[in-house]
Amino acid sequence: MGDESVIEVEWTGPYAWPKFEGESGLPSIPKHPGIYLWTSEYQTGYIIYVAGITRRSIPTRFREHTAKYIKGDYTILDMTAMNRGVRKEIWHGWGWTPEKRNSYEGRKTELEAAARHQLATFRVFVADVDTAPRILERLEAAIMNALYGESPPYCEIPDKGMMLAPRWDSEEPITVWFRSQVNLFGLPVELEI
């Protein structure tokens, strides 16, 4: 590329969530670090639920995510609704009270099945990018903030309140060009990070 102030990001996928290749009929996620998108099929492409990053291999990071989904730590969505562009929670993760723990235990079988369905239904896209901590953090923050700023339904699907680390005032802006063979709704072609 030559220009340090421009990054090209090539999304590949869709891939299956690790250990759900059989249910989804999709290939396994490549074993490299980088940035990833959790999406669902929507109209003529995919609607984005979340962008995430890892400096380890993406499948390694997903093992941790899987455990948190199964334990009820993460929000579980109705994936049929998400395929229509509607955010409908089956279970709201993030934070526990004794009452919430009791509710989860009473619905555990249902919620574990719903979590597994969500993971099998997710379509994952990945990009092998510079793993310098600030590049990854800035990319993740820029993507999520772009989604939050989109019109419905793209702004309504993602979780709010993620711990994001956008560009600091002391950092030089970087222009990112995204390329994909499919429609990733709500994701601009170009972002400044």
Does residue 117 lie in a domain region? yes
Q: What residues does 100 pair with on adjacent strands?
A: none
Q: Residues 46-88: pLDDT tens digits?
A: 999 999 999 999 999 999 999 999 999 999 999 999 999 999 9
Q: Residues 119-170: pLDDT tens digits?
A: 999 999 999 998 787 999 999 999 999 999 999 999 999 999 889 999 999 9
What mean pLDDT is reported for the chain? 95
Where residue 95 falls (left for φ over 0; alpha for ψ -120 to 50; beta otherwise) is left
- Predicted pLDDT at 132: 82
Tell me how many domains the chain contains. 1
Does residue 108 lie in a domain region? yes
Q: Residues 27-49: pLDDT tens digits?
A: 999 999 999 999 999 999 999 99
Report d(CA 98, CA 188) in Å as an integer. 42
Q: Which domain holds residue 120?
A: 6-192
Q: Span 103-125, mean pLDDT? A: 97
- Predicted pLDDT at 161: 87
pTM value is: 0.94
Residues 158, 146 contacting (CB under 8 angstroms):
no
Q: What percentage of the chain reaches a pLDDT higher than 90?
A: 93
Q: Span 102-127, mean pLDDT? A: 97
Report d(CA 110, CA 7) in Å as an integer. 43
Does residue 38 lie in a domain region? yes
Does residue 1 lie in a domain region? no
Confidence at 1, pLDDT banded by 50, 70, 90: very low
Burial of 35 (0-12, 13-18, 19+ CB in 10 A): buried
Does residue 144 lie in a domain region? yes
Does residue 19 lie in a domain region? yes
- Predicted pLDDT at 4: 66
Does residue 130 lie in a domain region? yes
Confidence at 3, pLDDT banded by 50, 70, 90: low
Does residue 54 lie in a domain region? yes
Q: H or E segment at 12?
A: strand 12-15
